[in-house]
Structure 1
């Protein structure tokens, strides 16, 4: 397009079986500054377009004679419209014969832009070409915008469904790359200065930038967003932007869309390269700004949940004693494990407890239903209540009923599972009350293993609890208590998972620590829930 807004340098496909007519039409168009591709039939036109499509050099417009030897110009137009990669090519029909209105209408209905009667003045031909190309480019721009808006919408939906900051960064990076058609990286810097980095899906994971590059990006984001309001789009030259985020080992200038989350403390950055690549258009930058804002909004609840998770884990670690801090329990050996969920958005209420009583040793493993800071808080209350109730009561069934009443009174919308085991180390007599929990697994010295037949309702529902199940432990027997986070898998029946756990426990090496470590290695990877585990046997 020249300074006056006129289209120049366009390529025109002229389809006419009359050589003199092709020459005359081509001369007019070349004088106007266009490149001309002449062909003599509809079939030749389709072959030429196929070749140019493969080379990426499609013409900008086609001038097509209505009367061709192998097919009409109308039929050629219809065939072009049926081919997805050619359907956008504008067509102008022409004819040296007087055309009735029906013929003109037929051309327009076939998808043509205009109809010329030749011979025509050069200005008229040039005007028809300009109008057809402009209309086609406007349509293409509109279609591209619709496609980008669809991609933007799809990306925002994916971002909003992210369950962690890492999932969010990955989804935003892939969406940015699809939206702008270039490599992309996304960064979210949380309040503890931990940097979450997402790369577009096609980026190889080999030769990723080192920790120094990530620290440099984090410092840059803090500096650029200090005191910022709204979305800021800026370019960072390659000496200041570490190499390798867009392509392995390659240095690029970076175009950044920066925004702070609503609370104003966590920078979000969408980054694309500029050096050696097609520059993002103003429309593309506007969409990039919208995507950056949507990413920041989606990051806000995840950041809040992350802070809540930190509080919950602090509670859990504070109130669940490490193995070396377990109380002295004469006559009973213990091994315990606690592993928080691998997913950042899962906060459980799993717990274990081991208490020394006058009547022996009381152990408990339980799980507050739900995943939230509230669940972790209720877990702490249950452990405290259990300790208080044990001052004047040791019967596991009575303790389960008291915990049930406590939840009904103070947390009527909360339920929990708990398994309580009271052991007399002198005799091995063991009484078990199970409130909706996975029953303990008893591993005999003979190599046999079976779940104890102990069952009862959850605590918090107000149903009566049966009398404890009673058995006797031999000195070499082991009793295993776990929460369902160890074995529960979506789509797999819990009974099948319990059988897998039993088989794995049978194959474990002797000893309590070996048993726990074997089961964690077998079932504890990439789990969606917390895991609490307690194994015991009579001591010397």
Structure 2
């Protein structure tokens, strides 16, 4: 505490082997309101600091005699500065003996704040101690600010790389906790009133707030941000803030940093205990406000992607026939599966089709390259083009060629893969055209499975497509067509993934549903891409 220009209440370590000198220095400092810790040697000073370090009561400044009996004051200062916990403690050298200028330089080079020639006037001693402590506090404040700014930058980078609103909430909560040194919670309320909640890791992971607490926070956020613009800092008293977000079952006044998305519909809230926030002061609150704004900006594309994903899934579900609405396919049993990507930021262009044609049944599984609403839209166009072409053409290779020309004309910057199979239910004759897709897998009832030897260039690159590959299905054979979202994993070679798929298929129980369900149970968890799957056999 500073009173009338003096720092009082500070603790001063006085290191001097002369008892009378220690007493005189201690008396001056005590009368000025300081707490004095006198020791006689360098080793005693180091031992005293070790003891105080355990208690968390390090001195604010050390006054060290240059000529100690066991080590020089220069050596003692060097030991202070070499230890992380005492490196920031200011040191003032003093000496009753005449010292050459080199001693002054040596002390300053070693990190000493000042040099006193004793005996000195009490006012001079007080002023030197006051200046040393104040300078140390300023340096400590600067270091703390730099640390907080670094933490802020690191957190912003992390939240900007978040791929879902939940990841963003978790990362922002951890950043608030590191900035404030308190437990923290972050909330993002999307346009559909779905609340995404992130809690910092230092919160004990038991007795999480229930749905009623989430509903209360959602209503509070809507009320506090209605008609607001920019960042708003406010305190919500404990009776109005649900218990348990910071400590299990404990009520706290909450200090909130609130901001809404650019369209004003999605509130973002960073929350920490009000008592803990008082420790970080105005600078800490300013950084919290900056983090809130950065979180809202990072949430914008995720919120938009969520809407886009909903539109894309609506398109996919609208245009892909549902399993119970597949057309009647005489002589062929067909089972389909479609599973959207687990991550909200992934929208695929996967599709399947099963059509009655003049020469039998035409099936297809394809994937428009890319993950966006555009990919889903092109998927719909390709599927409709296939249906139109199949009215008077059944040859899979010819259909692949036509789809390639359609894609190049109307979407020249887009590519896609597709596998087409034409099956004659009476004979089992099957012709396959594969445009850059995973080849169909023939699963036999003897526990073996092999990929059809069908390959060709993907759609959209303008390369000629080879004639269809021909094979014959036995009545007990199952033909499986999938998109790569089922098996493709970053860092895993596709050849290995294909072998895993073949092995899992060969070990599946009989039946089309059993085959699809086995593969989804084996591969279909937390996938980063959509999955389309079609399995058939002669009926």
Question: TM-score, normalization: structure 1?
Answer: 0.98
Instruction: Tell me, yes or no, if the aligned pair for 2:368 and 2:417 is still in contact at 8 Å.
Output: yes
- For 1:43 and 1:229, the matched residues in 2 are separated by 60
SS at match of 1:420: strand
Report the equivalent of 2:272.
272
Which residue matches 2:174? 174
Distance of 1:279 and 1:51 partners within structure 2: 26
Unpaired runs of 5+ residues, structure 1, are none
In structure 2, what is the Cα distance between the partners aligned to 1:231 and 1:291?
A: 10
Distance 2:399 2:468 in 1: 11
Aligned-residue offset at 1:244? 1.0
1-side partners of 2:294 and 2:537: how far apart? 55
Residue in 2 aligned with 1:162? 162
Q: Match of 1:383?
A: 383
Matched, 1:416 2:416: yes
Q: Please name the residue that 2:324 is paired with.
A: 324
Identify unmatched segments of 5+ residues in structure 2: none
Q: C-alpha displacement at 1:278, in angstroms? A: 5.5
What whole-Å deviation, never above 9, does each CA across 1:334-372 have from its counterpart, x for those lacking one? 110000000111111000001111211100000001111
- The question of whether the paired residues in 1 share the 8 Å contact of 2:366 and 2:419 is answered with yes
Aligned equivalents of 1:35, 1:182: Cα separation in 2 = 31
1:456 aligns with 2:456: yes
| 1:287 match | 287
Partners of 1:279 and 1:76 in 2: how far apart?
33
Shift of 1:471: 1.0
Q: Is the 8 A contact 2:277 2:285 kept in 1?
A: no
Post-superposition CA distance 1:81-123 (Å, at most 9, x none)? 1111111000111111122222222211111111111111111
Tell me, in whole angstroms, the C-alpha distance in 2 between the residues paired with 1:296 and 1:458: 40
How many angstroms apart in 1 are the aligned matches of 2:240 and 2:418? 56
Q: Which residue of 2 aligns with 1:497?
A: 497
Pairing of 1:5-44 with structure 2 (within 5 A): 5-44=5-44
The C-alpha deviation readout for 1:16-53, integer Å capped at 9, x for no partner, is 00011101111111111111000101111111111111
Offset at 1:277?
7.6
Structure 2 CA distance, aligned partners of 1:177 and 1:333?
57
Measured after TM superposition, the shift of residue 444 of structure 1 is 1.6
SS of residue in 2 equivalent to 1:239: helix
Distance 1:184 1:277 in 2: 10
Partner of 2:343: 343
Matches within 5 A, 1:47-196: 47-196=47-196
**Structure 1: distance between partners of 2:205 and 2:440:** 44
Partner of 1:437: 437
* Root-mean-square deviation (Å): 1.1
Note the C-alpha offset of 1:274: 2.2
Post-superposition offset of 1:202: 2.4
Equivalent residue of 1:367, what SS? strand
In structure 2, the partner of 1:538 is 538
Q: Tell me: CA distance 1:512–1:5, structure 2 relative to 1, closer, same or farther (3 Å).
A: farther
Aligned residue for 2:247, secondary structure, equals coil
2: CA distance, partners of 1:390 / 1:184: 59
CA–CA distance in structure 1, aligned partners of residues 318 and 518 of structure 2 = 26
Residue 445 of structure 1: CA displacement? 2.3
3-state secondary structure, aligned to 2:239: coil
Relative distance call for 1:120 and 1:215 in structure 2 (3 A) is: same
| In structure 1, distance between residues paired with 2:44 and 2:279 | 37
Task: Work out the CA distance in 2 between the residues paired with 1:5 and 1:154.
Answer: 39
Alpha-carbon distance in 1 for matches of 2:111, 2:231: 43
Mapped partners of 1:442, 1:497: distance in 2 = 16
Q: Indicate yes or no: 2:519 matched with 1:519.
A: yes
The answer for the alignment partner of 1:447 in structure 2 is 447
Following the alignment from structure 1 to structure 2, what is the Cα–Cα distance between the partners of residues 276 and 230?
24
SS of residue in 1 equivalent to 2:375? helix
Paired residues of 2:181 and 2:276 also in contact (CA < 8 A): no
Q: How many angstroms apart in 2 are the aligned matches of 1:276 and 1:473?
A: 71
Aligned to 1:406: 406
Distance 1:319 1:204 in 2: 47
Q: How many residues align?
A: 539
Q: How far does residue 448 in structure 1 lie from its aligned partner after superposition?
A: 1.9
Q: CA deviation at 1:79?
A: 1.4
**Residue 305 of structure 2 aligns with which residue?**
305
Q: CA deviation at 1:469?
A: 0.8
Cα offset, 1:279, TM superposition: 3.9
Q: Distance in 2 between matches of 1:402 and 1:248?
A: 63
How many angstroms apart in 2 are the aligned matches of 1:257 and 1:134?
Answer: 32
Cα displacement (A) at 1:275: 4.6
Cα distance, 1:141 vs structure 2 = 0.3
What is the CA distance between 1:3 and its match in structure 2?
Answer: 4.2
Q: Deviations over 1:279-338 (max 9, x none)?
A: 441111000000001101111111111111111111111111111011111111111000
Other-structure match for 1:236: 236
1:133-152 deviation line (CA, Å, top 9, x unaligned): 00000000000000000000
Distance in structure 2 (CA, Å) of the matches to 1:262 and 1:6? 50
2:250 pairs with 1:250: yes
